[in-house]
Chain A
Amino acid sequence: MATKAGLRPWLSATRCLWKSRPSVLQHRRNVFTSSDEPFPLQSPDDWQLLQDRRIRFKMLVDLFSEHGSTVTRDNTFQPHHQLHRPLAPSEATLSALIAAGAHFGHAKALLNPNFMPYAYGVRAGITIIDLDSTLPLLRRAASVMRAVVERDGTVVFVGTRPDLRAVVRKAAERIGPQAFHVGERWLPGTLTNKLQLFGRDVAKEQRVTPDLVVFLNPMANAHAIRECAIQHIPTIGIVDSNVDPRVVMYPIPANDESPRTAELITGVLSIAGREGRVLRENKERSKELRQSRYKRGQERGSTR
């Protein structure tokens, strides 16, 4: 006869949903499913226990990671990859630019008329930047960078926002001793008032005027751009839709507010700079080799 609970009362919903009362666990030595249950930390042994629990949890995660999805931390996008693993100029694609959000301009009302050739259109009240024009201009800027660095020129990366600080520093580090960065406010007179800012000795004895300046936020650095123009220094800049692209010599029309776009573009330029440095080193090495061979040839000729 069927009971109130059904034909098989031991399989009723209520029985299945009964949870076994949790045992008072203090120091269970088997694998934990939750690694962050609070417990008092008094002695170094307690801290050791915390570390042990974490390690066991990680072991559990690693064990199950081998089965199931093949997507790992290494083969998926991680935000820090953009900064530490930049793309080469040849690897920069339209989809990479779109993924970085480089096509978002500013509001339609703020569109600079001189930016019109680089604007694709307007959507949802904002200007969409034409990435078909961005990509070749980015490659052109990369070529300029490569050529300048190859000819022993100095490059300065300027990004005066807190989120751009690390980007410019990394880019300068990647190129080497020829590259510099300005992650804080650009002091007016850095290029036009060198004697005052750097002192007489430094201004006279060192190569203070750079050969190329890259602006990641040109709108905020109008003074710096003007100084570069006065000193006839070529400039590269990420121009947004509210900026006149003619302020810099090699504009790259893209979103200047997105840190991801800045990382992508600066990464491409820094890789190009690195390539230029390598080319220069190779050239110098081959020149040295030729010179040494010539000298040896001369010596052999003189002895005969």
Chain B
Amino acid sequence: MNVLRRPPGLSSFRFYSTQTTRPFVPPASLNHLELPQRQREKPRPASPSFYTARPDFYDQLTSLESALQHAKTALTTCHLLPLPQFARTALPPRVNAWVDKRELGLKLRSNLTTSRYRRVVLVLNELETYRAIAEKAGIMELQEGIRGITELFERADAATMLARGKSKPVKFDEYGRSYTLGKRKTSSARVWIVPAQRPPADPSTTALSTQATETDSALDALLNPHSSSKSNEHVSVAQILVNNTPLSTYFPIPADRTRVIHPLKLTGLLGAYNIFAIVRGGGTSGQSGAVAHGIAKGLAAHEPAVATILRKGKILRRDPRMVERKKPGLAKARKRYTWVKR
């Protein structure tokens, strides 16, 4: 064993591998000396992975791996592992939202490289899979035990992250009105939709003819406000107000009006709802498109069955087309200057 660690007077020098200036003294010749056993009096390092120079990290990783092993053993005892392929596909696809590298480094009290971060995330993903299996099979104790470990490493905003891309459900207020937003180019529309109250039906006329006349009269009234029609005075028509003005006044161009009505026509709900919209920004076509988008979303909220029709008709999707910017060297976004041969 090493007895003389450093020759006296040379303790401040750096020792390079090529120079070992320590003289070798056979330990047996020092037996008669009472040298202080300084080395023996010092305590040993506590962690078994001390010599990796990252004991905290490797100890934590080891404990995670042993937790994984325990979970695996428990599931094997419950005859849930190895899971057949058809059962694996029955599990919901997991999208995990673990903390990022920096945060995990803080939690594990060591600076993490990408490869070490990935190693931890691999173990956490497997733990999460076993938790999902335990949850599906109804083994609540095991599920809670694993959750206790995995929730320590989950992002604070995990719920929001996982809900990204999923649209929030449209809420109705106490009057049964839906409030939706529609956008197109630079216009944005706020649309309130409420079911129109139908007048009491005449027993003499048939239901079908009443519906047909109502729809026709509604369409007529909306598109041609100033034409006098006898049916207008008797049937209450579902109104569409845009910026507190009737649709026909606000959108003089027929194309814009048709665009606004399009979702109602597709779904056959023309006389069924009262619509109030506030639209700002853009020009006529942008504003009409925004109102149509808002109406489509509102209709999908009121009647979920029509959502498929609207999606097929491509009105439920916010039209991503925006005005393309002008580029240098071109007259407009795409228009080139006249080509000159010389």
| Chain A residues engaging chain B, CB cutoff 8 angstroms | 36, 38-42, 44, 47-48, 50-51, 54-55, 58, 152-154, 156, 169, 172-173, 177-184, 186-187, 190, 192, 197-198, 202, 205-211, 226, 230-232
Report Cα–Cα, A232/B136, bound state, in Å.
58
Contact B136 A47 (CB under 8 A): yes
What does DSSP make chain B's interface, helix, strand, loop or mixed? loop
Nearest-neighbor residue (CB-CB) of A154 within chain B: B44
Nearest-neighbor residue (CB-CB) of A210 within chain B: B51
Most chain B beta-carbon contacts within 10 A, residue among A47, A173, A187: A47
Most chain A beta-carbon contacts within 10 A, residue among B50, B80, B87, B90: B50
**Min distance, Cβ B111 to any Cβ of chain A, angstroms:** 13
Task: Report, nearest first, the 8 A-B pairs whose CB atoms are least far apart.
Answer: A38-B86, A54-B79, A41-B90, A47-B137, A44-B138, A207-B42, A36-B84, A172-B48
**B17 close to A (CB within 8 Å):** yes
Contact A226 B17 (CB under 8 A): yes
**B186 close to A (CB within 8 Å):** no
Given A50-B87, A180-B51, A183-B52, also A44-B78 (CB < 8 A): no
Residues of A within 8 A of B87 (CB): 41, 47, 50
**Min distance, Cβ B303 to any Cβ of chain A, angstroms:** 28
Nearest-neighbor residue (CB-CB) of A55 within chain B: B79
Nearest-neighbor residue (CB-CB) of A232 within chain B: B2
Contacts A/B (CB < 8 Å), 15 sampled: A42-B90, A44-B138, A50-B80, A58-B79, A152-B40, A172-B48, A177-B44, A178-B44, A180-B48, A183-B52, A187-B53, A207-B39, A230-B17, A230-B20, A232-B24
Report Cα–Cα, A172/B51, bound state, in Å.
12
Residues of A within 8 A of B58 (CB): 183-184
| Chain B residues engaging chain A, CB cutoff 8 angstroms | 1-2, 15, 17, 20, 24, 39-40, 42-45, 48-53, 58, 62, 78-80, 84-87, 90, 136-138
**Min distance, Cβ B136 to any Cβ of chain A, angstroms:** 6
Report Cα–Cα, A58/B48, bound state, in Å.
40
Contact B137 A182 (CB under 8 A): no
Report Cα–Cα, A47/B78, bound state, in Å.
11
Given A209-B2, A209-B39, also A44-B137 (CB < 8 A): yes
Residues of A within 8 A of B85 (CB): 38
Given A152-B40, A180-B45, A231-B2, also A190-B51 (CB < 8 A): yes
Report Cα–Cα, A47/B138, bound state, in Å.
8
Residues of A within 8 A of B90 (CB): 40-42
**Min distance, Cβ B79 to any Cβ of chain A, angstroms:** 4
**Min distance, Cβ A141 to any Cβ of chain B, angstroms:** 18
Residues of B within 8 A of A39 (CB): 86
Nearest-neighbor residue (CB-CB) of A197 within chain B: B53
Report Cα–Cα, A178/B50, bound state, in Å.
12
**Min distance, Cβ B36 to any Cβ of chain A, angstroms:** 14
Q: Quick one: which of A177, A180, A208, A209 contacts B49, CB cutoff 8 A?
A: A180
Contact A211 B1 (CB under 8 A): yes
Contact B1 A206 (CB under 8 A): no
Report Cα–Cα, A101/B24, bound state, in Å.
40
Report Cα–Cα, A44/B138, bound state, in Å.
6
Contact A169 B62 (CB under 8 A): yes
Residues of A within 8 A of B53 (CB): 187, 190, 197-198
Report Cα–Cα, A153/B37, bound state, in Å.
13
Q: Quick one: which of B15, B52, B80 contacts A192, CB cutoff 8 A?
A: B15
Known contacts A50-B80, A230-B20; 13 additional CB pairs below 8 A are A38-B86, A47-B80, A58-B79, A177-B44, A180-B45, A180-B48, A181-B49, A184-B52, A187-B52, A190-B53, A205-B43, A206-B42, A231-B2
Given A41-B86, A48-B137, A50-B87, also A156-B51 (CB < 8 A): yes
Residues of B within 8 A of A179 (CB): 48
Most chain A beta-carbon contacts within 10 A, residue among B15, B51, B84, B136: B51
Residues of B within 8 A of A40 (CB): 90
Report Cα–Cα, A24/B293, bound state, in Å.
51
Residues of A within 8 A of B49 (CB): 180-183
**Min distance, Cβ B142 to any Cβ of chain A, angstroms:** 13
Most chain A beta-carbon contacts within 10 A, residue among B43, B53, B80: B53
Report Cα–Cα, A172/B50, bound state, in Å.
12
Report Cα–Cα, A230/B17, bound state, in Å.
7
Residues of A within 8 A of B43 (CB): 205-207
Q: Quick one: which of A42, A44, A181, A198 contacts B48, CB cutoff 8 A?
A: A181
**Min distance, Cβ B47 to any Cβ of chain A, angstroms:** 8
Most chain A beta-carbon contacts within 10 A, residue among B2, B39, B80, B90: B90
Residues of B within 8 A of A36 (CB): 84
Contact B79 A51 (CB under 8 A): yes
Report Cα–Cα, A38/B52, bound state, in Å.
47
Report Cα–Cα, A232/B27, bound state, in Å.
12
Report Cα–Cα, A177/B39, bound state, in Å.
17
**Min distance, Cβ A192 to any Cβ of chain B, angstroms:** 7
Report Cα–Cα, A179/B169, bound state, in Å.
59
**Min distance, Cβ A11 to any Cβ of chain B, angstroms:** 40
Given A58-B79, A192-B15, also A180-B50 (CB < 8 A): yes
Residues of B within 8 A of A182 (CB): 49, 51-52
Residues of B within 8 A of A172 (CB): 48
**Min distance, Cβ B238 to any Cβ of chain A, angstroms:** 42
**Min distance, Cβ A146 to any Cβ of chain B, angstroms:** 16
Residues of B within 8 A of A187 (CB): 52-53
**Min distance, Cβ B54 to any Cβ of chain A, angstroms:** 8
Nearest-neighbor residue (CB-CB) of A179 within chain B: B48
